[in-house]
Amino acid sequence: MARAQLKSLVMIVASGLALLATPALAEPKWALVIHGGAGVIERKDLTPETEAAYRAAMAKAAATGSAVLDKGGSAMDAIEAVIRDLEDDPLFNAGRGAVFTAEGRNELDAAVMDGKSLMAGSVAGVTRTRHPISLARAVMEKSRHVMMIGAGADAFAASVGLEQVDPSYFFTERRWQGLVKELANQGLPVPVRPAGAPPPQAFQPIPDDRKFGTVGVAALDSAGNVAAGTSTGGMTAKRWGRVGDAPIIGAGTYASNQSCAVSATGSGEYFIRLTVAREICALVQYKGMTLQRAADEVIQARLTALGGDGGVVALTPDGQMAWSFNTSGMYRARAAEGQPTVVSIYKDEQ
Ligand code: ASP
């Protein structure tokens, strides 16, 4: 054997041994990534108490989802459990604490998608169902349809036994005052305070109150399936039955075991036009991009170029987790089997 051949044989054997010696990075059995909305969120604008409250809410959401997945629960069960809690938390623009339309109503949008079956369910403009995320799941599991809107969607919710509330249940002073401010900016009249709302009270303002605060989850379960879910009140002072990206499958919410699961938050009109969630998964599926690269390509390059703002959380069936946003902050958390939970708000955090 020539000297050069011998040398390369030795090198091949050596590198093989080195590979064997390097412990493979184990794929986590389960994982989840959560957002609580993206926007202009800067340290100087959050009081220590408000910041602590958001971090605690995100940590609790991660713990709730982790507990479901760690017990072998499905990605869909984890998503529903996490989002139901966040819909009850007035810090977020989903369920109670949702933003108001220009007419002074709370009109809620939500969606879920299951990556194994490609089944999906979504609702828009719901006003009486306490947990729009559970309604989206019921549309997927208990109807022949994918999307329902308005009074019909609420009627379906009642027919399958989901809790109905008076629309004033969703009222919060902070979001009402956010509406009053936004309508003044736009030169629009302020509607009468909704029937059933409590008398005016003190409230703690938060940054970028005008629109953001949507909640969403992408999850991977120990059976290897991914799913995604998103719930929102939309954008403050939205008009004429406006629907955002959250309930549009492929725009704000998407999941497929062939590629990835994504939940988005931000200026919905742009996310719809770019079919953001599906686009990220398509880059993973057809271009073989890593999840982080695909998310950055769509958010940092394409969304930014179009003038949209916001972000996504995402994960793949092989346990890659990613987030990407082009705003100064996004309330977010991620957790996976055997890994420490990460909770972050600002851009300069991990
Ligand atoms: N994407 C939501 C919408 O446009 C709003 C948000 O995420 O803040 O309805």
Q: Output the pLDDT for position 275.
A: 98
Residue 265 CA: nearest ligand 1 atom is: 7
Q: What's the CA-to-centroid distance between 230 and ligand 1, angstroms? A: 10
Q: Output the pLDDT for position 346.
A: 94
Is the pLDDT at 96 greater than 50? The verdict is yes
CA-nearest residue for atom 9, ligand 1, is 234
Between 45 and 326, whose confidence is greater?
Answer: 326
CA-nearest residue for atom 7, ligand 1, is 265
Tell me the three state secondary structure of residue 142. Answer: helix
Using CA atoms, how far apart are residues 142 and 137, in angstroms rounded to an integer?
Answer: 8
Decide if 227 is inside a domain.
Answer: yes
Q: Output the pLDDT for position 24.
A: 47
CA-nearest residue for atom 5, ligand 1, is 234
Q: Provide φ and ψ at 87, rounded to 5°.
A: -65, -30
Decide if 175 is inside a domain.
Answer: yes
Q: Output the pLDDT for position 39.
A: 85
Q: What's the CA-to-centroid distance between 236 and ligand 1, angstroms? A: 10
Q: Annotate 304-326 with DSSP letters as a single string.
A: HHHT--EEEEEE-TT--EEEEES
Decide if 9 is inside a domain.
Answer: no
Q: What's the CA-to-centroid distance between 87 and ligand 1, angstroms? A: 14
Decide if 11 is inside a domain.
Answer: no
Query: Residue 31: CB partners within 8 Å, gap ≥ 6?
Result: 69, 219, 220, 315, 319, 321, 334, 335, 336, 337
SS (H, E, C) 52-87: HHHHHHHHHHHHHHHHHHHCCCCHHHHHHHHHHHHH
Q: Which domain holds residue 190?
A: 31-346
Using CA atoms, how far apart are residues 94 and 107, in angstroms rounded to an integer?
Answer: 10
Q: Output the pLDDT for position 204.
A: 74
Pocket test for ligand 1, best of 206, 214, 313 (most atoms within 8 A of CB): 214
- Model confidence over 222-259: pLDDT tens digits? 999 999 999 999 999 999 999 999 999 999 999 999 99
Amino acid at site 139: V
- Mean model confidence pLDDT for the chain: 92
Residue 271 CA: nearest ligand 1 atom is: 1
Is the pLDDT at 307 greater than 50? The verdict is yes
CA-nearest residue for atom 8, ligand 1, is 212
Counted domains in the chain: 1
Pocket test for ligand 1, best of 35, 126, 212 (most atoms within 8 A of CB): 212
Tell me the three state secondary structure of residue 297. Answer: helix
- Model confidence over 155-175: pLDDT tens digits? 999 999 999 999 999 999 999
Q: Output the pLDDT for position 3.
A: 55
Q: What's the CA-to-centroid distance between 268 and ligand 1, angstroms? A: 5
CB atoms within 10 A of CB 166: 12
Decide if 18 is inside a domain.
Answer: no
> Tokens 């992408």 belong to which residue?
218
Is the pLDDT at 23 greater than 50? The verdict is no
Decide if 23 is inside a domain.
Answer: no
Using CA atoms, how far apart are residues 59 and 333, in angstroms rounded to an integer?
Answer: 7
| pTM check: above 0.85 | yes
Decide if 235 is inside a domain.
Answer: yes
Task: Assign residue 174 the CATH number of its domain.
Answer: 3.60.20.30
Catalytic residue annotation: 214
Decide if 13 is inside a domain.
Answer: no
Pocket test for ligand 1, best of 83, 243, 265 (most atoms within 8 A of CB): 265
**CB of 211 sitting under 6 A from ligand 1:** yes
